[in-house]
Chain A
């Protein structure tokens, strides 16, 4: 994705268009040879839907997932290159065209499905398919060479972009094969036994650099806001301060009178202004006077009152939706020798990706082109097509790097806005959200109240576990609420939802952040109450779960849990799973008792993510997610007053700065041959608990409401 991507992207799209209704899947059905060959130059050929080979040896591999910082464009290409046995130093990576039938994956990892990049599923979902596709590309090259040399394909070997025939001592580079390779009518499914033996892997599980990094140190990586089109105009929008209200512009003539303002566009949820340059669009937006009409549900939402509403709902005899249930909680909990209860709270939080939302759109009479950094590439193409009444093929989507996604860029609202404005003014439009727009018209990780209750039997064991999550955002609330790795005989975990009419959305690790905070802090509280070591209590609970236990033991070993801690500091431990990956963390903190400020000095983390394709980057993802988690735990809170977000920019929605980063982060990955699982969020969920647990160890007081701002810390310390 260097600057020339635009033109390369177009040529690729051309060959795909030629295909019409033909399936491009590289499966047992076979490669659609004629389609790929058409229009190709002799010195370069499309080997399959996934790879393009040039006579100079350059191997261009297509990246099916959005690159938002998680590094999967590199890892996915590495999986493919591994089985193709390509020379990694000659690999280029380009975004795949937005063709979900070819480049999508289903939730079970099956081909087709969607290209949606969410839930840390890119590597885990594509792993088998990309190994297969890489092996098939190698098969095509070997077949061509075998025919050329008149030898049996099975006698040929490859090594990093070179084909050998040991019997005759002949060799040829992949680049040289371009001249004569014929794309066969069909390519068989390569049996697993013919895939590489993992011990021969040169890339998977090895150390290599990220492909995108060089373009991100010289400003050449292209994000959608960096796109320029001839005749392009600039747009900004004033959006409903209260979700669901409709705008009535009061000073239209003075806005239209501003020099450089070209047009105004009425939208259901706001007013867009179009201008010849960005400054004018932003200036006009700032002085629009708008009356907001309507009385939507959100208007009655005050987040400070929500916890009371949730408390009231928790008392209702009507059960919510059940996340998990085992044994007979209602029979056993009342029989407990001892009952331990605690409530936990978490405020709404905002994605705060560094790149405010933006998109470039050009809507024409019967087609549309969009440039955007999005997690939902095919979703965007679909939504734009449906919105404009076009078919999917008439919408051309140019993917760009994402300046952070974290769930926010899986929505398409901002793209539809750009499309609406472009259509209204009949020009290419760059729509730019300000930071204030991005925050105030955000879609937040939901607020929730978590009520936990544990019954302890006569032997001092946890016999019953009840966890009720009450909040808003429906399906966002339940993720991570189950605890399948803790063997507790009687268990009831449920979610109760109140719709406040405000916008909520997946935020990195979704419900795992709040839920693991509550669960893992509660386990700590039980341990202290039972005078047990919190690490040992977890070991008891997960004694029948060896993988989980190994992860927990690893982090305890790394930090030498139980060894003396410097004066004025204490440690907390927790365990969490996410996207199939298992992670455990320990932190060491101190607290300034006069200011209430928590300092996290060190964090240790361990991770089992199955086969890890790119270990260096996997560790870095874990580091990033725990730093982002730390930010959310210490600082971040969105509040609503009468439906209106009360924060607006980084001065009243602070996120973690360098001075608050941990001094040291130590991470280890557990070696595994299990299938790959999602890693991009795995470090985040345990952050709330390890800090609350360390704080309790240090002060004897308990933090149960995220974020742990200095005010809350002082309040808890004086309680």
Chain B
């Protein structure tokens, strides 16, 4: 089947099976590997991307659900690590192993796009679905708080 959507601002066409999945299409067919596989069942958030600006778990999203939509991945958040969250992430030295961080940043970016000044409680509620095993949560919080009003 032929699928068409806007990926990080550019139209793409992908030929894939009917049951093609968004995560594996991004990673394997389009070789955009910043989006990670973590649990496969929407429990960890490592695979978070945006569809039309909303955060979705790409691991449980079929490619057909992206048809005609705008998909944004970590690679499309900025060209040069200049998104305020990326800047704050570097300033606060947030990542350890780094595997969950694309998902963390994409989840946070969707929050700030909607609500540029969330309080701590709102941040925690919004971010709670994205797991980190290295224990970077407090720095994630700090980096998001630092980025409020800048997005």
Contacts and interface: CB of A to CB of B under 8 A. Distances in A.
Contacts of B75: 218-219
A404 B86 contact: no
Query: From DSSP, what is the main secondary structure of chain B's interface residues?
Result: loop
Contacts of A617: 93
A308 B32 CA distance: 51
B124 interface: yes
Nearest to B89: A217
B137 A218 contact: no
Given A403-B98, A657-B131, A659-B128, A279 B140 contact: no
A663 to B, nearest CB: 9
A623 B37 contact: no
A649 B43 contact: yes
Given A219-B74, A225-B33, A649-B39, A624 B134 contact: yes
A339 interface: no
A278 B134 contact: no
B38 A404 contact: no
B93 A213 contact: yes
A621 B78 CA distance: 29
A649 B131 CA distance: 13
Interface string A658-702: 110110110000000000000000000000000000000000000
Given A213-B90, A650-B39, A658-B124, A354 B131 contact: yes
A212 interface: yes
A217 B21 CA distance: 24
Contact of B128 (A616, A620, A651, A658): A658
B98 A277 contact: no
Contacts of A620: 93, 96, 139
A320 interface: no
A628 B34 contact: no
A72 B91 CA distance: 19
Contact of A353 (B97, B128, B139): B97
Interface residues of B, number: 60
Interface string B16-38: 11011100100111011111111
Contacts of A71: 96
B24 A217 contact: no
A616 B96 CA distance: 12
A392 B139 CA distance: 42
A113 interface: no
Interface in B52-85: 73-75, 77-78, 81
Contacts of A283: 19
Nearest to A70: B96
B46 interface: yes
A354 B41 contact: no
Contacts of A213: 89-90, 93-95, 98
Nearest to B76: A219
B4 interface: no
A185 B69 CA distance: 63
Contact of B37 (A218, A225, A406): A225
A279 B17 contact: yes
B60 to A, nearest CB: 12
Contacts of B81: 214, 217-218
Interface in B115-151: 124-125, 127-141
B100 interface: yes
Nearest to B32: A219
A664 B120 CA distance: 13
Contact of A404 (B20, B29, B130, B134): B134
Of A218, A283, A616, A623, chain B has the most CB atoms within 10 Å of the CB of: A218
Contact of B44 (A354, A616, A658): A354
A223 interface: yes
Interface in A203-251: 209-210, 212-223, 225-226, 228, 234
Given A217-B105, A226-B33, A352 B133 contact: yes
B40 interface: yes
Contact of B43 (A216, A651, A664): A651
B133 A260 contact: no
Contact of A623 (B46, B99, B133, B135): B135
Contacts of B74: 218-219
Of B75, B138, B140, chain A has the most CB atoms within 10 Å of the CB of: B138
A703 to B, nearest CB: 22
A650 B138 contact: no
Given A69-B96, A624-B135, A657-B128, A222 B101 contact: no
B98 A218 contact: no
Given A219-B33, A658-B124, A650 B133 contact: no
Contacts of A432: 37
Contacts of A313: none
Contacts of B139: 620
Nearest to B139: A620
Nearest to A227: B33
Contacts of A664: 138
A278 B93 contact: no
A430 to B, nearest CB: 8
A354 B127 contact: no
A277 B95 contact: no
Contacts of A212: 95, 98
B73 A219 contact: yes
Interface in A394-423: 401-406
Contacts of A220: 34
A649 B41 contact: yes
Contact of A218 (B19, B86, B136): B86
A601 to B, nearest CB: 13
B98 A650 contact: no
Given A212-B98, A216-B98, A221-B98, A354 B46 contact: yes
Nearest to B91: A209
A651 B41 CA distance: 9
A36 B151 CA distance: 50
A369 interface: no
Closest 5 CB pairs of A and B: A219-B34, A627-B135, A403-B99, A69-B97, A216-B98
19 contacts: A71-B96, A209-B90, A216-B95, A217-B81, A217-B101, A218-B75, A219-B32, A228-B28, A278-B21, A354-B36, A354-B133, A355-B97, A356-B38, A403-B36, A403-B100, A405-B97, A631-B135, A650-B39, A651-B43
Given A212-B98, A221-B98, 12 more contacts: A71-B96, A210-B95, A213-B98, A217-B95, A223-B33, A279-B20, A354-B99, A404-B133, A626-B135, A627-B137, A656-B135, A661-B141
Interface of A: 68-71, 209-210, 212-223, 225-226, 228, 234, 259-260, 277-280, 282-283, 352-356, 401-406, 432, 434-436, 616-617, 620-621, 623-628, 631, 649-651, 655-659, 661-662, 664-665
